[in-house]
Amino acid sequence: MRHSTREATAIDALEQQERAIGAMSRLVNALLDIGKFESGAVRAQIAEFAVLPLLEQLHPEFTALARQKGLALRFEVQAGTLCTDAALLEQVLRNLLSNAVKYTSRGEVTVRCAFETFGARLEVCDTGIGIPEQQLPLIFNEFFQVETAANAPRSGYGLGLSIVSRIVNLLALKLEVESTPGVGSRFRLTVPAGAASCESASTPPPAQASSEPRRVTLAPQLLLIEDEASVRTATELLLRAAGCEVWTGASQADAFAQLERHARIDLLISDFHLAGEANGVEVIAGVRARLGWDLPAILLSGDTSASVQGLPHDEHWRIARKPLRAEELLGLIGELLER
């Protein structure tokens, strides 16, 4: 027993030493990064690139971190191109997301990207502790950390936002901060958009002779009806990460309520078996009747019986078998929106 206790103590000491070495390594790396910016060793590589692949790299990592804290992580992103240094912009977003998750104990963290005539607006928002007004001018200083509760654990060294500030200056970007203590913070970054995205944002769409609502290729607006909360949340995260705006519900009544709130819906996804009185087929038919046109729709079902596979549907309506792989679902959405 004495030998086991000695071994446990040694293992604990080694783990503490490993954590200390890791923390010191992160500190040294951060200081080296700052030194590189100060010396002018970092040169921006400006190029045009798609925003979705960049954010898709961040999504799994920060989704896992947010889930560990019981937070929701939302990506509300329009597809399009940016014109700046992709690697440095990723570092900015990584630091902003890391801080947002770190200083948020409940609620959600949201990443948004919208294209406007002047460029693209990237936002990282949280429902965290917020920043007192008198501390806002100090948050980009080295080693500064926002005040937290006396018994709250401290993490990091206050260098993340200092590095963000240097990258923003190097890339000649605009960064704005809004924060309310106890409510949360919003970091808004203005980034030059690629030529095609600027043209799409500034050119009005041509008038259409058809009475059918105009389909917008950027940020499709999807209505998701799924009565199982975990499946609904996972599907919503996937769709938002793919650049869609997503409105959700669990029943036909929820679907009708979302139609009242949102002027445009581009596509409906509904599970077949729902807990309410109406099934997925009735949800699709009801939504279409209220809109007055054949809204593209995907009916999801784990039922492989002939009665389900033989349900009546048209060229704007697909029946997909669950479980459905992410790429299959996104492929169906793309196919229907292009029709």
Residue 118, domain member (yes or no): yes
Helix (H, G, I), strand (E, B) or coil at 24: helix
Same domain, 160 and 284: no
Are 231 and 274 in contact by the 8 Å Cβ rule? The answer is no
User: Full-prediction pTM beyond 0.75?
Assistant: no
Decide: 83 and 194 in contact? Cβ < 8 Å: yes
Q: Using CA atoms, how far apart are residues 290 and 287, in angstroms rounded to an integer? A: 5
Residues 67 and 176 in one domain: yes
Lookup: tokens for 123: 């936002």
Peptide bond into 323 cis (omega under 30): yes
Q: Which helix H or strand E contains 268, and what residues bound it? A: strand 267-271
Residue 182 lies in a domain: yes
234 part of a folded domain: yes
Whether residues 239 and 190 share a domain: the answer is: no
Looking at the fold, whether 165 and 242 belong to one and the same domain comes out as no
Token code pair at residue 93? 């977003």
The CATH number linked to 317 is: 3.40.50.2300
309-339: string of b/e by CB count within 10 Å (b at 16+)? Answer: eeeeeeeebbbeeeebeeeebbebbeebbee
In a domain, 213, yes or no: no
Domain-terminating residue out of 133, 165, 198 = 198
Q: Is 292 found in the same domain as 174? A: no
- Asked if residue 312 and residue 168 are part of one domain, the reply reads no
Instruction: State the virtual CA torsion across 328, 332, 334, 335 in degrees, nearest 10.
Output: 130
Structural domain boundaries enclosing 298: 220-337
What CATH number did the domain enclosing 89 receive? 3.30.565.10
Question: Is residue 126, in this structure, part of any structural domain at all?
Answer: yes
Q: Are the C-beta atoms of 127 and 108 separated by less than 8 Å?
A: yes
3-state secondary structure of 113: strand
CA distance 101 to 105: 8
Helix (H, G, I), strand (E, B) or coil at 318: strand
Length of the chain: 339
Are 165 and 309 part of one and the same domain? no
Residues 124 and 97: beta-carbon distance below 8 Å: yes
Same domain, 86 and 180: yes
Euclidean distance between CA atoms 190 and 172, whole angstroms? 10
User: Pick from 165, 198, 231: which residue ends a domain?
Assistant: 198
Q: pLDDT tens digits for 290-331? A: 988 889 999 988 776 656 666 766 788 888 888 778 888 888
Are residue 186 and residue 247 in the same domain, yes or no?
A: no
If one counts the domains in the chain, the total is 2
In a domain, residue 178? The reply is: yes
- 115 domain-assigned: yes
Q: Which residue has the tokens 């937290």?
A: 148
Residues 258 and 156 in one domain: no
The DSSP string of 126-142 is E-SS---GGGGGGTTST
Q: Are residues 194 and 225 in the same domain?
A: no
Per-residue pLDDT of the chain (339 residues), as tens digits, is 455 566 556 555 555 555 443 333 443 344 444 455 555 656 778 889 998 888 888 888 888 888 888 888 888 888 889 999 888 898 889 889 988 998 898 888 999 998 887 789 999 999 998 888 888 777 776 544 655 544 444 454 445 687 888 888 888 889 898 988 888 999 999 999 887 655 555 444 443 333 333 333 346 889 999 998 888 888 888 888 777 888 899 999 999 999 988 777 889 999 998 987 889 999 999 999 998 888 999 998 877 665 666 676 678 888 888 877 888 888 888 888 876
How far apart CA 239 and CA 248 sit, in angstroms, is 11
Q: Are residues 164 and 235 in the same domain?
A: no
DSSP characters over 219-256: S-EEEEE-SSHHHHHHHHHHHHHTT-EEEEESSHHHHH
Q: Is residue 180 part of a domain?
A: yes
Under DSSP, is residue 50 helix (H, G, I), strand (E, B) or coil?
Answer: strand
